[in-house]
Chains A and B, each alone.
Chain A
Amino acid sequence: MSLTDEETLELHELLDGLVENNLSPSRKAKLEKWIAESEEVRKTYVYFMDMSASLVHFADERLSDETEEVVANSSIDKIVMFVLPLTLVAALLIAGFYLPRAWIDREKIESDLAAIADPSPKDEKETVIVDTVAVLTKTVGVEWADDSSLRPDSGNTLEPCMLKLKSGLAQIEFLQGSIVVLEGPVEFEIINPNGGALSIGKLRASVPEVSSGFAIEVPNGKVIDLGTEFGLHVHEGGSTEVFVYKGKVLYEGQTEDDEDVSREISGGESIFIDPYGHPRWVEMPTEPFMGKAELAYRSMEESQRRHAAWVDLSKEIAQDPKTRLYFSFDNHSPWSRLLRDDSVTKESPNNGAVIGCKWEEGRWAGKGALAFKRDNDRVRLNLPRRLISATLAAWVKIDALPQSVAPIICAEPLSSGATCWSIDKQGQLSLRIKSAKGFNLYESAVAFGKERVGRWTHIATTLDSESKMISHYVNGRSFSHEKMSDLVPLNFEKSLLGHSHDIPDQDGVALRGSIDEFALFEVAHDEDSIRRIYEVGRPFDPSGRLGPSLP
C-alpha cells in the first residue's frame, strides 16, 4: 500500500532528523519500526540516504573545483586514501595494534603513524577490572607446558598467575603500560600490574616512560626498568643475561655470599649474571628477542598463509570430478539468497535456495558463513543422482548442544536411500539411511561436548561401498568405523541443509549454529584425505591448541 501524502511528509521529517542527528529516541524507534515493516518506507529510506551520500560526493567535488591547488591535493588525497593504506597496511598490521579511523586526513594518518611508533595501551587501562593486572593480547603457535594449570586464550585478562609455555610466543600487556613478549620454552609469573618474575626462558620487554619502575625478578635479583626496551634470558641452572636495546635498566641482586651488587645498564650494553649472582659485562648478543612488531607480523603471516592454503584447497575441491556438490560459502553478497555450488565439473550446478538464514563471518575475516538461528532457517537443495560411495564433509559451529538433533543435511524420506546427516543430543555424529526394511542408523563415538560449542569444527562421514564401511571423523580424527548392515545408495533428492523434517517423533528440527563449508564427494575419502581437508582448512587460532586432546 502506498504512503499517503501525510505519511510521506512525516517520513521525510524523520529522515531529515536522522541525517541531522537530532531524532528523539521515540521518533528513532518509530522510524526503525516503519523501515522494518514497510518495503516502500525502506526503499524511500535507501533513496534518501543514497542521496545524502551523493551530496557528500558533490560537496567534495565542488570544494575541489574551487581552486586548482585543492584539485591537485584532492586527487592526491583520494589516492592517499587508498594507496597509503596499501603501503601502510603492512606497517599497520606488523605493528598490529592500531588502524587509523580518519578518512582522507593526512594529519590524522601522520599522528596515527606516530602512535604506531609509540603505542600506548590506554584502552586497556580504561577497561581494567578488579584484580586484573595484565591482558594476553597476542599468541603465535603457543603450546602450553603439560603441567601448566592456566591456559588463557588471546584476549583474556590475567590476574597474578604463572604462565608456562612449552613453545610459541605470547604477548602480555601490563595494565601500567609495559609490554612483554614471552618466547617459549619459558616460565613467567605475573605478580602485579607493573612487574613479574622470570624463572626460566626468554622475554623482551618494552616499557613506556609512564611505566618506569617496571621490574622483573630473576634468580639472583631483579631488573628494574628506567624507561626502555630490554631482553632477558634465564638459563637452566640459574644464570641470567640482560640485554638493553635502548634506555637504561638497573640490575640489583645478591651474590651467594650475600653481597649486594648493582649495575646500571645502558642501551647497547649487556651483562651476564652467573648462577652465583656475580654479574659481568658481555658483548651484545646476536640472537634476537621477539619484539611486538615481529610477533604481530608472524601472526599475520601465519593467518594469511593458512587462508591462502585453504583457497588453493577450495579450488582443488571445486575442480575435482568426484565432487558432487561443493559450497565454499565464500564471496557471496550479504543479501544473497542463493548458495552457489562451486563444483565446476558438472554440466549444471546444484545451487541451494537460502531460506531465512543470515550471512555472517566464517572462519576467516571476509569469509562468509550461513547462520541457522530460527526454526525455519534452511537451504533447500535438489540432488537427483544417488551415491554408491560418498564422503560428506562440513565445517560447522554449533551454538549449543542439541536438545534432540542438529541436522546438517537431511533428505525427505520419500524413497530408499534417503539420508540424514546430523549431530545428536549425545554429541554423536550420525548418519541415518532409509532402506526397504526401515532406517539404518550409524553413529560415531561421542564427539561433541561443551568444549566444541561456539567453535568451528570439521566433521566428515564416509560410506565405502567396497568395504561396506561407514566411518565418522571429527577434526580429522576417526571417531568410528562401522560395517553397513544394508548397502543402499545415498539419496539427497529434495534435501535441506540445516533442517530436517525427518526426525522420528519430531515435527521438524532445525540446526542452531553455522556452516561455512560443505562438500559431498562421490567417493569415500580415506583418513589421510579427511585429515588433510581439516588441517588445511583449520582456521588460524594458536589458542585452538588448548582444546581437549582427541582420541
Chain B
Amino acid sequence: MNPPPTDRSSELVQLMMTYQRRIFAYIHTLVPSRSDAEDILQETSLTICEKFKDFEIGTNFYSWACQIAYWKVRAARKKFATSKVVFNQEVVDVISETRGGMEEELDHRHGALTRCLEKLNDRDRRMVLTRYESGKNVTAAAQACGRTIQGAYKALTRIRKALFDCVSFEVSAEQVR
C-alpha cells in the first residue's frame, strides 16, 4: 500500500522538479497560448499533488502526469473557446499522439538549444530570452534591445528560424557521431 501523501512529499517535489519543464512543454504543445498553458500546468500540478498517493514509484511519472495534463486540457477547451490559438479536439489528440513518439528526440533538441543559444550574438540572445521571460512580450523585447516593435517582430521570426535550424542540425550531427 502507498504511504500517506505527507511521507511522499519529498518524492513528489523531486519528481516535479525533474519533470516540470517537460510537463509544461507537453501542455504548451497542446495549448499554444503560454498563459493558458501555465494555467493548465498549475491545475495539473494541483491534481498531481492530490492524486500522488495513487502513483506507484518506479512507474513512468511523466506519462502519468501527462495523462492528467491531457484531461486538464480537454476540460479547459470551453474556457479557451474564445482564444485565437485553440485547436479542435481531434487536432489536439493527433498532436498528443505524435508527440508521444518524439519524447527522446525532444530531449536531445532541448540540450541542443542550449548550444544554439550560445551561438547567437548577445543582442539576439537578449532579445529572444527577454521575449520569453514571464510577463514579457514583443514590446518589452524591443525596448530591451533598442529596436522598433516592427523590427522586433521581424528579428524574432529570424532568430526562431535560426534556432530551429541550428537545433535540427545539432541533433542530426549527434546522430552521425
Specify the chain B residue showing the minimal Cβ separation from A81: B45
Which residues of chain A come closer than 8 Å to B134, judged between CB atoms?
56, 59-60, 63, 104
With A16-B156, A89-B49 in contact, is A50–B106 under 8 Å at CB?
yes
Specify the chain B residue showing the minimal Cβ separation from A61: B129
With A46-B95, A51-B109, A83-B13 in contact, is A103–B46 under 8 Å at CB?
no
Question: Is A35 among interface residues, defined by CB-CB distance under 8 A?
Answer: yes
Specify the chain B residue showing the minimal Cβ separation from A24: B84
Question: Is A42 among interface residues, defined by CB-CB distance under 8 A?
Answer: yes
Q: Complex Cα distance A104/B128, Å? A: 22
Taking chain A's interface residues, is the majority helix, strand, or loop, or is none over half, making it mixed? helix
Contact (Cβ within 8 A) A78 B17: yes
Question: Is B148 among interface residues, defined by CB-CB distance under 8 A?
Answer: no
With A23-B85, A50-B109, A86-B9 in contact, is A35–B95 under 8 Å at CB?
yes
* B66, B67, B130, B167 pick with most chain A CB within 10 angstroms: B67
Q: Complex Cα distance A269/B53, Å? A: 43
With A50-B110, A51-B167, A55-B129 in contact, is A21–B85 under 8 Å at CB?
yes
Count of chain A residues near B, Cβ 8 A:
66
Q: Complex Cα distance A334/B27, Å? A: 13
Contact (Cβ within 8 A) B164 A103: no
| Interchain CB contact (< 8 A) of A365 among B17, B63, B71, B156 | B71
Contact (Cβ within 8 A) A35 B67: no
Q: Complex Cα distance A79/B5, Å? A: 16
Question: Is B121 among interface residues, defined by CB-CB distance under 8 A?
Answer: no
Q: Complex Cα distance A307/B156, Å? A: 49
Which residues of chain B come closer than 8 Å to A81, judged between CB atoms?
16, 20, 42, 45
Contact (Cβ within 8 A) B164 A47: yes
Question: Is A196 among interface residues, defined by CB-CB distance under 8 A?
Answer: no
Query: Smallest Cβ distance from A310 to chain B, in angstroms?
Result: 10
* A47, A335, A359 pick with most chain B CB within 10 angstroms: A335
Contact (Cβ within 8 A) B96 A45: no
Contact (Cβ within 8 A) B91 A93: no
Which residues of chain A come closer than 8 Å to B41, judged between CB atoms?
103
User: Looking at the complex, which of A94-102, A167-175, A396-404 is the stretch in contact with chain B?
Assistant: A94-102
Contact (Cβ within 8 A) A28 B84: yes
Specify the chain A residue showing the minimal Cβ separation from B114: A58
Contact (Cβ within 8 A) A45 B46: no
A506-537 to B contact mask, C-beta < 8 Å, 1/0: 00000000000000000000000000000000
Which residues of chain B come closer than 8 Å to A42, judged between CB atoms?
94-95, 98
Query: Smallest Cβ distance from A106 to chain B, in angstroms?
Result: 13
Query: Smallest Cβ distance from A447 to chain B, in angstroms?
Result: 30
* B32, B91, B160 pick with most chain A CB within 10 angstroms: B32
Contact (Cβ within 8 A) A36 B32: no
Specify the chain A residue showing the minimal Cβ separation from B35: A103
Question: Is B143 among interface residues, defined by CB-CB distance under 8 A?
Answer: no
Which residues of chain B come closer than 8 Å to A547, judged between CB atoms?
none
Specify the chain B residue showing the minimal Cβ separation from A89: B49
Contact (Cβ within 8 A) A36 B117: no
Question: Is A276 among interface residues, defined by CB-CB distance under 8 A?
Answer: no
Question: Is B175 among interface residues, defined by CB-CB distance under 8 A?
Answer: no
Which residues of chain A come closer than 8 Å to B169, judged between CB atoms?
none
Contact (Cβ within 8 A) B100 A335: yes
Which residues of chain B come closer than 8 Å to A189, judged between CB atoms?
none
Contact (Cβ within 8 A) B87 A331: no
Specify the chain A residue showing the minimal Cβ separation from B167: A51
Specify the chain B residue showing the minimal Cβ separation from A57: B21
Question: Is A355 among interface residues, defined by CB-CB distance under 8 A?
Answer: no
Which residues of chain A come closer than 8 Å to B39, judged between CB atoms?
101-103
Query: Smallest Cβ distance from A76 to chain B, in angstroms?
Result: 12
Contact (Cβ within 8 A) B49 A86: yes
Specify the chain B residue showing the minimal Cβ separation from A60: B134
Which residues of chain A come closer than 8 Å to B43, judged between CB atoms?
99, 101
| Interchain CB contact (< 8 A) of B13 among A60, A79, A89, A361 | A79
* B48, B59, B84, B138 pick with most chain A CB within 10 angstroms: B84
Contact (Cβ within 8 A) B130 A82: no
Which residues of chain A come closer than 8 Å to B74, judged between CB atoms?
360-361
Question: Is B68 among interface residues, defined by CB-CB distance under 8 A?
Answer: yes
Contact (Cβ within 8 A) A85 B49: yes
Contact (Cβ within 8 A) B95 A85: no
Question: Is A92 among interface residues, defined by CB-CB distance under 8 A?
Answer: yes
With A103-B39, A335-B100 in contact, is A366–B68 under 8 Å at CB?
yes
Contact (Cβ within 8 A) B98 A54: no
Question: Is A62 among interface residues, defined by CB-CB distance under 8 A?
Answer: yes
| Interchain CB contact (< 8 A) of A53 among B21, B91, B136 | B21
| Interchain CB contact (< 8 A) of B98 among A32, A39, A86, A103 | A39
Query: Smallest Cβ distance from A466 to chain B, in angstroms?
Result: 36
Which residues of chain B come closer than 8 Å to A260, judged between CB atoms?
none
A57-90 to B contact mask, C-beta < 8 Å, 1/0: 1111011000000000000001101110110010
With A35-B91, A89-B49 in contact, is A58–B84 under 8 Å at CB?
no
Contact (Cβ within 8 A) A12 B91: no
Question: Is A311 among interface residues, defined by CB-CB distance under 8 A?
Answer: yes
Contact (Cβ within 8 A) A49 B29: yes
Q: Complex Cα distance A185/B93, Å? A: 47
Contact (Cβ within 8 A) A85 B46: yes
| Interchain CB contact (< 8 A) of A36 among B16, B91, B101 | B91
Q: Complex Cα distance A79/B17, Å? A: 8
Question: Is B47 among interface residues, defined by CB-CB distance under 8 A?
Answer: yes
Query: Smallest Cβ distance from A124 to chain B, in angstroms?
Result: 16
Contacting B at CB under 8 A, from A448-466, are none
Question: Is A259 among interface residues, defined by CB-CB distance under 8 A?
Answer: no
Query: Smallest Cβ distance from B78 to chain A, in angstroms?
Result: 13
With A23-B85, A42-B95 in contact, is A100–B71 under 8 Å at CB?
no
Q: Considering the complex of A and B, which 5 residue pairs feature the smallest CB-CB distances, nearest first?
A: A53-B25, A335-B100, A59-B132, A335-B97, A103-B38
- What are 6 A-B contacts with C-beta separation under 8 Å? A18-B32, A47-B109, A86-B5, A103-B38, A307-B54, A333-B100
- Given A78-B20, A334-B100, 15 more A-B residue pairs with CB atoms under 8 Å apart are A18-B85, A23-B84, A35-B87, A43-B102, A47-B168, A51-B164, A53-B28, A54-B21, A55-B113, A78-B17, A85-B46, A99-B46, A332-B67, A360-B74, A366-B47
